[in-house]
């Protein structure tokens, strides 16, 4: 049985980790860490866990936690994991960090976009970017995994095969993405109040969203060149889900069957990526509560562009589900263990 500790267990991603791990036959949560609710019953914070979780919330003492568990999930704001991790901790336990602290390989880029000093740059090179469908073999041997962001997971996986095969002009790539409000976290913010969000849609972080360099870096690896793209996120009045619509010029004439063959080359054997049939567009409602990524595309011969579309649940594949997928790989388990989650509808 894998002993699990969670730091940040009462945030939305942390709560989703608890929910999903509760159904994992080979894992047991030993530590529900939460600075905001120390000594309070976890089930009093999340009433859906009444008579399911009897534990109380503890602090974020990573030093003590490392001696008690086999893996630590850090579902925390940027900067916290980097401020706590050290060599002694990593010699005792594995860490899956759901923040951005170890996603970017250039510490200067991290500090520029996140406006904080990186406290543990010595571990950046070692950290494995935990996009399982791309870096599966590296994840298996890792002791520190940087779990990708929600927008980035959807955006990267939607374009990855075409970038890898040189089928799109990366200099023309534009990503337009929409997210439910849970992506903003559980903290109280005026702009996320019901009256601010309901019956409204808005762009934010225009030309400045911090997931931009993460998408550029990973698609740059795929394309074998430096990538600079436009990424615009939008907030929509729903709890969960991300829909990314991506536009790029084609580098050669292709038919639908040609593009589908490229997607199949990379994703046909992937449990959690579903490439949809011709003329079927992804919808967030068909992936809600699951670890699936639904991908569709449409060729526009009039403009010589391709429109790529992807949908995920931001709290599952975009956070907790992907983190558990990484855990399964790190401990040699079946990758889909605990993640056989059929999408919820309605």
Active site residues: 150
Report d(CA 223, CA 243) in Å as an integer: 23
Q: What is the DSSP letter of 41?
A: B
How would you class 304 by CB atoms within 10 Å of its CB: exposed for 0-12, middle for 13-18, buried for 19 or more? middle
Could you give the C-alpha distances from 288 to 7, 49, 84, 306, 345, in angstroms and in order? 25, 20, 33, 26, 8
Report d(CA 129, CA 227) in Å as an integer: 18
DSSP string, 54-96: --B-B---HHHHHTT-SEEEE---TTHHHHH--HHHHHH-EEE
Report d(CA 46, CA 50) in Å as an integer: 8
Is residue 117 within 8 A of residue 206, CB to CB? The reply is no
Closest to 14 measured CA to CA, from 73, 80, 56 = 73
Closest to 256 measured CA to CA, from 239, 275, 241 = 275
Half-sphere exposure of 206 (CA within 13 A, CB side): 3
Half-sphere exposure of 34 (CA within 13 A, CB side): 24
DSSP string, 215-255: HHHHHHHHHTS----EEEEEE-SSSS-EEEEEEEEBSS---
Is residue 17 within 8 A of residue 320, CB to CB? The reply is yes
């Amino acid at each position: 049985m894998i002993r699990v500790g969670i730091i940040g267990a009462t945030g939305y991603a942390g709560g989703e980790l608890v929910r999903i791990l509760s159904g994992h036959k080979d894992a047991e949560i030993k530590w529900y860490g939460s600075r905001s609710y120390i000594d309070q019953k976890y089930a009093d914070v999340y009433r859906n866990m009444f008579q399911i979780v009897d534990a109380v919330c503890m602090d974020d003492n990573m030093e003590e936690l490392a001696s008690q568990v086999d893996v630590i999930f850090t579902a925390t704001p940027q900067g916290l994991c980097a401020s706590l991790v050290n060599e002694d901790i990593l010699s005792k336990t594995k860490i899956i960090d759901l923040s951005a602290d170890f996603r970017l390989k250039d510490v200067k880029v991290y500090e520029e976009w996140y406006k904080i000093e990186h406290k543990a740059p010595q571990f950046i090179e070692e950290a494995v970017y935990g996009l399982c469908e791309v870096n599966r073999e590296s994840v298996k041997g890792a002791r520190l995994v940087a779990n990708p962001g929600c927008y980035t997971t959807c955006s990267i996986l939607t374009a990855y095969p075409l970038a890898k095969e040189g089928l799109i002009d990366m200099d023309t790539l534009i990503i337009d993405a929409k997210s439910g409000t849970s992506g903003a976290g559980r903290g109280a913010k005026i702009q996320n109040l019901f009256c601010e969000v309901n019956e409204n849609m808005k762009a934010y972080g225009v030309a400045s969203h911090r997931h931009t360099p993460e998408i550029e870096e990973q698609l740059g690896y795929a394309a074998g060149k430096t990538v600079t793209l436009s990424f615009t996120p939008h907030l929509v009045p729903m709890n969960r889900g991300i829909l990314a619509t991506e536009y790029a010029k084609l580098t050669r004439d292709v038919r639908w069957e040609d593009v589908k063959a490229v997607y199949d080359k990379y994703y046909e054997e992937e449990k959690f990526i579903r490439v949809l049939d011709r003329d079927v567009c992804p919808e967030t409602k068909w992936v809600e509560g699951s670890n699936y990524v639904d991908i569709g595309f449409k060729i526009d011969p009039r403009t010589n562009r391709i429109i790529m579309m992807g949908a995920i649940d931001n709290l599952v594949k975009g956070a907790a589900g992907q983190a558990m997928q990484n855990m399964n790989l790190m401990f040699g388990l079946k990758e889909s263990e605990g993640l056989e989650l059929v999408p919820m509808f309605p």
